[in-house]
Amino acid sequence: MAHSDSVTTFISETKGKGMIAVKDIKNGEIIMQEKPLVCCQFSWNAAYKYLACDNCLRSLETTEENVRRLTGNSNISLPFPECCPTVKENHTKCFACGVQYCSKECQEQAWKQYHMTLCVGTCEESPSHPLNILNEAWKQMHYPPETASIMLLARIIATVRQAEDKNGAMNAFMQFCHRTVNEVEEIAHKLLGEHISNQLEVLRELTAKALYSDDVHHWLTPQGFGALFALVGTNGQGIGSSPLSQWVNNVADLSLSEDQRSAVDSFIDQLYVDIEAVSGGFLDAEGSGLYLLQSSCNHDCEPNAEQTFPLGDSCLVLKAKRDIAQGEEVCVSYLDECALSRSRYSRQKILRENYLFICRCSKCLSQADDANETSSDEEDAFDDDD
């Protein structure tokens, strides 16, 4: 699943898991590459026709199709069509329910891991199937922007049900942090707060109706379902795939004259302006996944590494944002760039509610006595229902 000769993991009393460099790592260097144990496209993202492989989240649109949809302009023609990453000849569908894959390999992997259990419920012509009822209930409770999906929980459960070594599969998932509270800090996960307890019980009952088996019965009790929900909420890594970004990168690698380069750069700049006007920031096929090695990375508000998805699918590539010395901890940000730019108060609030810890990174400690950083008018901006 994962591979790296640059880092190793550790466990400490104060931080729990962590990741440390075993050699010097240069700025921009790939630290590790990892495929998820399981991943899933967000429900609303799929409903809005961001067509992606049901297994690896690779976009199934050509770059031109993608740009025409995002701009609402069906007449756009892209130069350098050879730079489009999409190979439609490789696409295939599940013979039973019609969900689409980027390749036969992805279809076979999905069937062997989880799709055999979930297949009947994914058919759009079966709205009364318990899995479709579960997904629709989730969508009505959690509107975009999305940060989680009930169907990721369904895939975890299905993976265990289909595994030959069910205990091994269960243990793989239970290696992730799955606390619902941090007793030391007296913090409860916001996904399990009192204000959504009724929602959680509805989701638990619908999940049990759709996927109950003796192998996973403990995950479908109120306590077990809460732990599974917290596992996904705490460890889920956002994934984005875009044929446009890959096309742009491929065009950047072309050998072009100065005039050609200037023309295509202007074309691309205008393309993003047009997309912003119609689709805003929603460019990618988006979902989330669970990555065992990457989940060991702790948060820092000034991270020395970042998660990227340059291959256009769910394969995560961790890259250094600056030079990292041997023996130094490798940290990422659990917050997006917008949240990172907020006050210490706002950053702390998001981290407490979503990840059950109080950040004590050097940036937070240095701002602890700054009055401008210890209170905020930004609080309401983060009170979404995810």
Task: For 59-119, give the DSSP string.
Answer: B-S-HHHHHHHHHT-TT---S-GGG----GGG-EE-TTT--EESSHHHHHHHIIIIIHHHT
Residue 280 lies in a domain: no
Question: Is residue 155 a contact partner of residue 322, using CB atoms and an 8 Å limit?
Answer: no
Residue 380 lies in a domain: no
Residue 136 lies in a domain: yes
Residue 381 lies in a domain: no
Q: What is the C-alpha separation between 141 and 196, in angstroms, rounded?
A: 9
Residue 246 lies in a domain: no
Residue 116 lies in a domain: yes
Residue 277 vs residues 248, 274, 280, 281, 283: alpha-carbon distances, Å: 19, 5, 6, 9, 12
Q: What is the C-alpha separation between 160 and 149, in angstroms, rounded?
A: 18
Q: What is the C-alpha separation between 359 and 355, in angstroms, rounded?
A: 10
**What residue numbers bound the domain in which 197 lies?**
38-238
- Per the structure, how many domains does the chain have? 1
Q: What is the dihedral of CA 141, 162, 241, 90, to 10 degrees?
A: -130
Per-residue tokens: 16:
């729990």
Residue 172 lies in a domain: yes
Going residue by residue through the chain (386 aa), what tens digit of pLDDT does each one get? 555 789 999 887 777 789 999 999 999 999 999 999 999 999 999 999 999 999 999 999 999 999 999 999 999 999 999 999 999 999 999 988 899 999 999 999 999 999 999 996 555 557 888 999 999 999 998 888 888 899 999 999 999 999 999 999 999 998 886 565 554 444 444 554 555 678 889 999 999 999 999 999 999 999 999 889 888 888 999 999 999 999 999 999 999 999 999 999 999 999 999 999 999 888 999 999 999 999 999 999 999 999 999 999 999 999 999 999 999 999 999 988 888 889 999 999 888 887 878 899 999 999 888 777 666 555 544 444 44
Residue 244 lies in a domain: no
Q: Which residues touch 298 (CB under 8 Å, ≥6 apart)?
A: 15, 17, 18, 19, 329, 331, 332
Distance of CA 26 to the CA centre of its chain: 26
DSSP single-letter state for residue 181: E
